[in-house]
């Protein structure tokens, strides 16, 4: 009987593993189809100055519109694509799309707005990364100064010796680098100082409970103070309320990204927003000039 049970248990376990592997396989096949069927697209979420007046950049965020399942969020497929290696196809596609769209909005915008593209750990270790980026810039015509790459803090910690050369090469090309989801890993800013990085993006999890959570407020304040002393720019992610904006301003944060100011949208929506944000500042300077 015991043996019988054990056998069943193993059988059951196998089924569970198989089922998951099968689901992963399906999702990966789906992704491959998605790319050739045009089910993937990129949205852009603007980043604003601390007062929310002017757009200073826009982050490219990958989307998958599945014909039956609807919109699938990146968190459910990026990590899988990372595991399977599919990200080495999706990543360069998203990069190319983002550069092409950034070229388009910069043609239509009264002032230059850079695009930020997320890079996955696997892309950073891919020898094709630099050639892919050169291709994306050349095909789109986008100036490297208008491209920013976001890398997560954990990548930096795990793989620093392997990727340091790549990071310097990107910097020398004129591309900016930012550290995404800052605060979720265990790296110190002093350590990041050794990297050719310009910006840290404070993770949404620190912003979500302010004002009120004094631990988070202190942490944010410490990050901002230290980041500034090392000449990093600080962006807060996931800003959803006026109260959060106000305290981030008080703590000296430079830029904001979040649903309060704008949700991710199409390239056309970004062009429209940039037009309005420009005419607002125009109107403001006209008023100031009259007085
Ligand atoms: P991330 O790079 O930290 O991007 C910010 C995420 O926060 C986005 O989620 C954005 O929609 C969301 N967000 C922005 N403001 C708010 C807010 O006020 N409230 C809330 N609740 N959320 C906000 P999204 O688009 O679902 O992307 C999730 C993650 O997927 C990204 O996190 C990034 O790590 C990854 N990702 C997205 N696109 C790409 C890509 O093209 N390549 C790679 N490698 N990763 C990507
Ligand atoms: Mg990001
Ligand atoms: Mg982030
Ligand atoms: Mg995040």
Comparing 18-27, 85-94, 231-240, 258-267, the range with the smallest average pLDDT is: 18-27
pLDDT of residue 37: 94
Q: What pLDDT, in 10s, does the model give residues 148-163?
A: 999 998 877 777 888 8
238 lines ligand 1 (CB under 6 A): yes
Between the alpha carbon of residue 139 and those of residues 96, 116, 181, 242, 243, the distances in Å are 8, 17, 30, 40, 43
Q: Which pair of structure tokens corresponds to residue 122?
A: 């696997």
Supply the mean pLDDT for the chain: 89
User: How, if at all, do strands 55-66 and 176-182 pair?
Assistant: unpaired
Cα angle, residue 57 at apex, residues 54 and 63 outer, rounded to 5°: 125
When pLDDT is averaged across residues 240-248 and rounded to a whole number, the result is: 98
Q: Please report which ligand is nearest the Cα atom of 257.
A: 1
Residue 105: what are its φ and ψ, rounded to 5°?
-75, -25
Task: State how far the Cα of 139 lies from the Cα of 132, in Å rounded to an integer.
Answer: 10
Tokens of 178: 């930012």
Helical (H) or strand (E) element with 63:
strand 55-66
Specify the 3-state DSSP secondary structure of 129.
helix
Model confidence band, residue 110 (pLDDT cutoffs 50, 70, 90)? confident
pLDDT-based confidence at 21, cuts 50/70/90?
Answer: confident
Give the side-chain half-sphere CA count within 13 A for 86: 20
Q: Which atom of ligand 1 is nearest to the CA of 260?
A: 18
Taking the mean position of all CA atoms in its chain, how far away is CA 50?
A: 19
Q: How confident is the model at residue 1 (pLDDT cuts 50, 70, 90)?
A: very low
Which H or E run contains 94? helix 87-108
Rounded CA separation 288/111 (Å): 20
Distance CA 177, CA 235 (A): 13
Q: Does residue 4 or residue 46 have the better pLDDT?
A: 46
Per-residue pLDDT, 157:
74
Question: Is the CB–ligand 1 distance for residue 255 below 6 Å?
Answer: no
- Give the residue, by CA position, lying nearest to ligand 1 atom 37: 61
Mean pLDDT value of segment 203-218: 95
Distance, CA of 255 to CA of 135 (rounded, Å): 30
> Given the DSSP bridges, would you call strands 147-152 and 55-66 parallel, antiparallel or unpaired?
unpaired
Could you tell which of 31, 46, 78, 96 is best to mutate to test the pocket of ligand 1, judged by most ligand atoms within 8 Å of the CB?
A: 78
Q: What is the pTM of this model?
A: 0.91
Across the range 227-242, mean pLDDT stands at 96
Prediction ipTM score? 0.97
Within 8 A by CB and 6+ apart from 15, the residues are none
Who contacts 185 (Cβ-Cβ below 8 Å, separation ≥6)?
152, 153, 154, 156, 157
Burial of 287 (0-12, 13-18, 19+ CB in 10 A): exposed
Q: Is the pLDDT of residue 6 over 60?
A: no
289: pLDDT strictly greater than 80 = no
Evaluate: CB of 136 within 6 angstroms of ligand 1.
Answer: no
Tell me the per-residue pLDDT of 36-93, one tens digit each, with 9 for 90 and over: 999 999 999 999 999 999 999 999 999 999 999 899 999 989 999 999 999 999 999 9
pLDDT-based confidence at residue 2 (cuts at 50, 70, 90): very low
């Amino acid at each position: 009987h015991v043996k019988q049970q054990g056998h069943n248990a193993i059988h059951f376990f196998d089924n569970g593993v198989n089922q998951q592997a099968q689901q992963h396989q399906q999702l990966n096949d789906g992704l491959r189809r998605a790319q050739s069927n045009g089910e993937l697209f990129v949205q852009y979420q603007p980043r604003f100055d601390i007062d929310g007046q002017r757009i200073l950049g826009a982050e490219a965020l990958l989307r998958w519109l599945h014909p039956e399942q609807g919109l699938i969020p990146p968190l459910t497929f990026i990590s899988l694509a990372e595991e399977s290696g599919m990200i080495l196809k999706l990543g360069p596609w998203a990069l190319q799309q983002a550069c092409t769209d950034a070229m388009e909005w910069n043609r239509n915008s009264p002032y230059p707005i850079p695009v930020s593209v997320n890079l996955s750990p696997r892309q950073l270790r891919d020898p094709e990364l630099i050639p892919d980026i050169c291709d994306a810039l050349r095909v789109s015509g986008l100036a490297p100064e208008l491209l920013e790459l976001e890398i997560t803090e954990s990548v930096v910690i795990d793989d620093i010796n392997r990727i340091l050369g790549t990071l310097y090469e990107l910097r020398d090309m004129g591309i900016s680098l930012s550290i995404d989801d800052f605060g979720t890993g265990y790296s110190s800013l002093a350590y990041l100082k050794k990297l050719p990085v310009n910006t840290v993006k404070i993770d949404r999890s620190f912003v979500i409970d302010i004002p009120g959570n004094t631990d988070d407020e202190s942490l944010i304040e410490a990050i901002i103070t230290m980041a500034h002393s090392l000449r990093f720019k600080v962006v807060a992610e996931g800003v959803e309320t006026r109260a959060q904006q106000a305290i981030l301003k008080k703590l000296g944060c430079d830029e904001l990204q979040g649903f309060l100011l704008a949700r991710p949208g199409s390239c056309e929506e970004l062009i429209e927003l940039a037009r309005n944000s420009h005419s607002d500042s125009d109107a403001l300077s006209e008023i100031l000039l009259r007085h």
